[in-house]
Amino acid sequence: MTDSKYFTTTKKGEIFELKAELNSDKKEKKKEAVKKVIASMTVGKDVSALFPDVVNCMQTDNLELKKLVYLYLMNYAKSQPDMAIMAVNTFVKDCEDPNPLIRALAVRTMGCIRVDKITEYLWEPLRKCLKDEDPYVRKTAAVCVAKLHDINAQLVEDQGFLDTLKDLISDSNPMVVANAVAALSEIAESHPSSNLLDLNPQSINKLLTALNECTEWGQIFILDCLANYMPKDDREAQSICERVTPRLSHANSAVVLSAVKVLMKFMEMLSKDLDYYGTLLKKLAPPLVTLLSAEPELQYVALRNINLIVQKRPEILKHEMKVFFVKYNDPIYVKLEKLDIMIRLASQANIAQVLAELKEYATEVDVDFVRKAVRAIGRCAIKVEQSAERCVSTLLDLIQTKVNYVVQEAIVVIKDIFRKYPNKYESVIATLCENLDSLDEPEARAAMIWIVGEYAERIDNADELLESFLEGFHDESTQVQLQLLTAIVKLFLKKPTETQELVQQVLSLATQDSDNPDLRDRGYIYWRLLSTDPVAAKEVVLAEKPLISEETDLIEPTLLDELICYIGTLASVYHKPPSAFVEGGRGVVHKSLPPRTASSESAESPETAPTGAPPGEQPDVIPAQGDLLGDLLNLDLGPPVSGPPLATSSVQMGAVDLLGGGLDSLIGGTNFVAPPTAAVPANLGAPIGSGLSDLFDLTSGVGTLSGSYVAPKAVWLPAMKAKGLEISGTFTRQVGSISMDLQLTNKALQVMTDFAIQFNRNSFGLAPAAPLQVHAPLSPNQTVEISLPLSTVGSVMKMEPLNNLQVAVKNNIDVFYFSTLYPLHILFVEDGKMDRQMFLATWKDIPNENEAQFQIRDCPLNAEAASSKLQSSNIFTVAKRNVEGQDMLYQSLKLTNGIWVLAELRIQPGNPSCTDLELSLKCRAPEVSQHVYQAYETILKN
């Protein structure tokens, strides 16, 4: 039996020959011909011309031939919809066949023929098959509902198939249950607001029972569905966990990973004090390790997931470092992932072993792997302080090997080590300098130049070294040029006498001979700084740099939490939310971990502490403090300190605790002076500022609700246009969350129920974070107020105007559409305060053509009032300056999608006749400027 002959290519006229054979009387010949047709189809030839002839072969009692014809139909029906109708009769007949295999085959195939006209004929057979006596037919019909829904969702709902499908969840056959769950989950994904799956303790119990009995694939469907359930309390969570843990011993890795997902998610709800919590943690490690003995592709999926799990709960695998050691013949993708996890697990306890391994890897063949290993050594140094010395000496050993890319990579990481531990390892500079000639990659050259400039005073021939780079200045990449410019300026400030010529040379190269605007700008700035005020120049250029943080590549916590909900799926492999790679709205419902129910948690876990919440109206209330602060900030030119000294901060926290909830009323009094700030010596300058804002952060956490400016509600959807439903609303932002406050009024005569809401894609990915919940039916003339929480992780599409939002609201009567403009300031995030030097650098960095100027007329505010007003809407004043009687406020804000906007606000307080404010905005995405200006105007004028 060799079928390969069908693949042999044929000459012209093939189609005619096939046609003749298909119409032959001999059964065998017919079958041969259909096989040939399928073979041609597979290799990509267009055999659609044979459609009628192939369909003619459908009426047969030969199952093999029937299946081949069906295969052909599935491929070509869409291009020949009219002819596809010819096949319908056979399908309908087959659905009545006494043989369950044939009934199932017919219903399965019909669902795959995506022609509207055919689907019409499908309802009746499908309805019958869903209630067929044979489980094989029922399980096939369950999937068919999902197919049909994909073609025509409305029809499936109208025909009541969803209810029948729901009934199948209670079917006696586990495989029917599993397929019904899979189909419902898929349909539910495209209706995020509908409560289709309607999971409750009873249905969960049914699923858990089926879990023990169905096939490995069915177990995956059920576990993935369970993961979407939100248990009502920690006891329910625990009992589900107990019934899911046996799955960790399944041979199928996907079953294991899906079980891990359920456990990781529900664990959030368990109190850490519980014995069971510890047991569960211990149970998770062995199966995760076992996944590493699976085939390499699965190992890769497992490792990407372990990477997430290690970030979320490092305690699970902290003793399992050894299993992540790289094997010589692991595929490269497994090696690279293992390396990542090794660094994450590195700690003081195991660092010696890790380093020995990394050193071994640095001598391997694959360039990417070796580079990553070298970089990993550097990261270990930064992460585990005790090991820094050993890491540095390992890196030096590697530099001695003189392998070009190893040396370059080592130099790049040594630069970071210098930044983390200043004045500790500079003795190695001499060794680094020996390798200057071998550096040919921009990143390594730039790193080396940075080192030379930073430590110019300790390198005798720093000027010679930098001069040697200067010779080929124009051939260097921008990165290197910029670094070289800065390094030479640093050198000049440190050794002015010997290097005057050099600095002249580099400044003229940068400003006169270069086409690069960034380089020219930086050159001019240095030039002017140096020529006007060398002391200031020194303070700017040689300012102390903030320390670099330990782990730069951690996944952002909210994204991490979301990805934990997607364990095992593609999202967890890409480390991206599904919206980043899935087209359209399907399957991109934002998921989040359940909140912890145990109250003991909130106090100790850092992520629940209020971070960077905006201070409320306090500056208004205590103007004296505000003035003082402003002055102090003005005086202080030193580097900003990121946090107050520990001692003072703890005093303040204590004070706030004492004040407790009574703070609200206290703030009301005009003479309120915060005792903790008064206690801090005034000469501390900047720390007071940050201490103060810390205090405010806490107060906002304690009780005062602070938030952005809220516009009064406006009518968005008049009752005339929406069959009696009137919607008015506004947007608010409070303590980091955006919501849409809606007022629904029923002006019709009938009761309204079944409300749901959906947003179209929009510029900032706004999407409802929860379904629209109107608890009771809305009777005539009744009004309800609803606050709908919004998230910004929906799909993104640029709208015109930018802040346009198209909304669809559904109720039992109809679906209504309206669009509204949201004020941009609801998107200003709480951590929008840029540090001062960043601000300066960014302001310079953004090209001038991105600057936009606006006037805000008739706004008689002084700088403090403006600043505090703006701050409550998350526009932060970075610095204040007084120039010739004008107050200049330098402000920053950040949008939810990470776009920074820098602003300069000019106020003339001394001049009552001139109440106009001037606003300049700089942003890398200039199209937002107009809307930011509008936000400024609304905030300041209200």
Residues 761 to 780 in contact with another protein, rule: CB under 8 A: none
* Partners of 906 in beta bridges: 888, 918
Among 160, 201, 296, 789, binds another protein (CB under 8 A): 296
Contact 316, 284 (CB under 8 A): yes
Give, for 352, the enclosing helix (H) or strand (E). helix 351-361
> Which residue is listed with tokens 């810390």?
694
Among 16, 26, 52, 64, binds another protein (CB under 8 A): 64
Does 793 contact another protein by CB under 8 A?
A: no
Does 112 contact another protein by CB under 8 A?
A: yes
Among 325, 672, 818, 843, binds another protein (CB under 8 A): 325
Contact 241, 263 (CB under 8 A): yes
Does 84 contact another protein by CB under 8 A?
A: no
Among 92, 298, 598, 840, binds another protein (CB under 8 A): 298
- Provide the minimum distance between the beta carbon of 437 and another protein in the complex, in angstroms, as a whole number: 13
Contact 746, 761 (CB under 8 A): no
Residue 372 to residue 378: CA distance in whole angstroms: 10
- Provide the minimum distance between the beta carbon of 48 and another protein in the complex, in angstroms, as a whole number: 7
> For another protein, what does the binding mask look like between residues 237 and 276, x meaning CB under 8 A?
------x-xxx-xxxxxx-xxx------------------
Region of 565 (left: φ > 0; alpha: ψ -120 to 50; beta: rest) is alpha
> For another protein, what does the binding mask look like between residues 148 and 187, x meaning CB under 8 A?
--x----------------------xxxx--x--x---x-
* Partners of 895 in beta bridges: 828
In the region spanning residues 837 to 876, those forming contacts with another protein, defined by CB under 8 A, are none
Does 587 contact another protein by CB under 8 A?
A: yes
Nearer CB in complex with another protein: 528/586: 586
Please, what is the Cα angle at 92 between 87 and 93, to 5 degrees? 100
Among 26, 78, 93, 881, binds another protein (CB under 8 A): 78
In the region spanning residues 13 to 52, those forming contacts with another protein, defined by CB under 8 A, are 35, 38-39, 41-44, 46, 48
Residue 558 to residue 511: CA distance in whole angstroms: 44
Tokens for 109?
A: 């195939």
- Provide the minimum distance between the beta carbon of 587 and another protein in the complex, in angstroms, as a whole number: 5
In the region spanning residues 682 to 701, those forming contacts with another protein, defined by CB under 8 A, are none
Does 349 contact another protein by CB under 8 A?
A: no
Question: Residue 640's Cα: distance from chain center in Å?
Answer: 29
Closest CA to 161 of 144, 185, 140: 144
Nearer CB in complex with another protein: 404/915: 404
Among 23, 56, 239, 290, binds another protein (CB under 8 A): 290
Among 230, 332, 609, 682, binds another protein (CB under 8 A): 332
What letter does residue 321 receive in the DSSP assignment? Answer: G
- Provide the minimum distance between the beta carbon of 327 and another protein in the complex, in angstroms, as a whole number: 6
What letter does residue 861 receive in the DSSP assignment? Answer: -
Phi and psi (nearest 5°) for 504? Answer: -55, -45
Query: Exposed, middle or buried by CB within 10 Å (0-12, 13-18, 19+), for 938?
Result: middle
Question: Residues with Cβ < 8 Å from 224, sequence gap 6 or more?
Answer: 185, 258, 261, 568
Does 434 contact another protein by CB under 8 A?
A: no
Does 323 contact another protein by CB under 8 A?
A: yes
Contact 468, 480 (CB under 8 A): no
Among 195, 279, 363, 500, binds another protein (CB under 8 A): 363
Tokens for 412?
A: 């790049």
- Provide the minimum distance between the beta carbon of 321 and another protein in the complex, in angstroms, as a whole number: 10
Residue 296 to residue 335: CA distance in whole angstroms: 10
Does 12 contact another protein by CB under 8 A?
A: no
- Provide the minimum distance between the beta carbon of 291 and another protein in the complex, in angstroms, as a whole number: 9
Does 220 contact another protein by CB under 8 A?
A: yes
Does 190 contact another protein by CB under 8 A?
A: no
What letter does residue 830 receive in the DSSP assignment? Answer: T
Nearer CB in complex with another protein: 372/522: 372
Among 117, 474, 545, 586, binds another protein (CB under 8 A): 586
Among 92, 143, 628, 684, binds another protein (CB under 8 A): 143
- Provide the minimum distance between the beta carbon of 429 and another protein in the complex, in angstroms, as a whole number: 23
Does 364 contact another protein by CB under 8 A?
A: yes
Does 98 contact another protein by CB under 8 A?
A: yes
In the region spanning residues 626 to 655, those forming contacts with another protein, defined by CB under 8 A, are none
In the region spanning residues 551 to 580, those forming contacts with another protein, defined by CB under 8 A, are 566, 568-574, 578
Nearer CB in complex with another protein: 136/818: 136
Does 585 contact another protein by CB under 8 A?
A: no
Residue 707's alpha-carbon distances to 295, 616, 651, in angstroms, are 52, 7, 26
Nearer CB in complex with another protein: 253/483: 253
Residue 564's alpha-carbon distances to 737, 769, 770, in angstroms, are 21, 18, 19
DSSP helix/strand/coil, 816: strand
Does 448 contact another protein by CB under 8 A?
A: no
Q: How far apart are the first and last CA of the chain?
A: 84
Contact 414, 392 (CB under 8 A): yes
Give, for 768, the enclosing helix (H) or strand (E). strand 767-768
Whats the size of the chain, residue-wise? 942
Among 120, 167, 216, 315, binds another protein (CB under 8 A): 216
Contact 260, 309 (CB under 8 A): yes
- Provide the minimum distance between the beta carbon of 594 and another protein in the complex, in angstroms, as a whole number: 20
Tokens for 285?
A: 């490690």
Nearer CB in complex with another protein: 9/427: 9
Residue 113 to residue 119: CA distance in whole angstroms: 8
From 9-17, 282-290, 386-394, 545-553, give the range in contact with another protein by CB under 8 A.
282-290
- Provide the minimum distance between the beta carbon of 663 and another protein in the complex, in angstroms, as a whole number: 45
- What is the 3-class SS of 890-911, one letter each residue? EEEEEECCCCEEEEEEEECCCC
Does 371 contact another protein by CB under 8 A?
A: no
From 2-10, 481-489, 852-860, 867-875, give the range in contact with another protein by CB under 8 A.
2-10
> For another protein, what does the binding mask look like between residues 400 and 429, x meaning CB under 8 A?
-xxxx-------------------------
Nearer CB in complex with another protein: 402/528: 402
Size of the site for another protein (CB under 8 A): 120
Please, what is the Cα angle at 908 between 906 and 911, to 5 degrees? 165
Does 9 contact another protein by CB under 8 A?
A: no
Among 212, 279, 477, 650, binds another protein (CB under 8 A): 212
DSSP helix/strand/coil, 294: coil
Residue 225 to residue 262: CA distance in whole angstroms: 9
Among 62, 650, 753, 819, binds another protein (CB under 8 A): 62
Query: Exposed, middle or buried by CB within 10 Å (0-12, 13-18, 19+), for 43?
Result: exposed
Buried b (16+ CB within 10 A) or exposed e, 754-767: ebbbbbbbbbbbbb
Closest CA to 542 of 493, 479, 483: 493
Nearer CB in complex with another protein: 111/523: 111
Residue 285 to residue 829: CA distance in whole angstroms: 38
- Provide the minimum distance between the beta carbon of 70 and another protein in the complex, in angstroms, as a whole number: 8
Nearer CB in complex with another protein: 29/419: 29
Contact 270, 237 (CB under 8 A): yes
Among 17, 83, 123, 134, binds another protein (CB under 8 A): 134
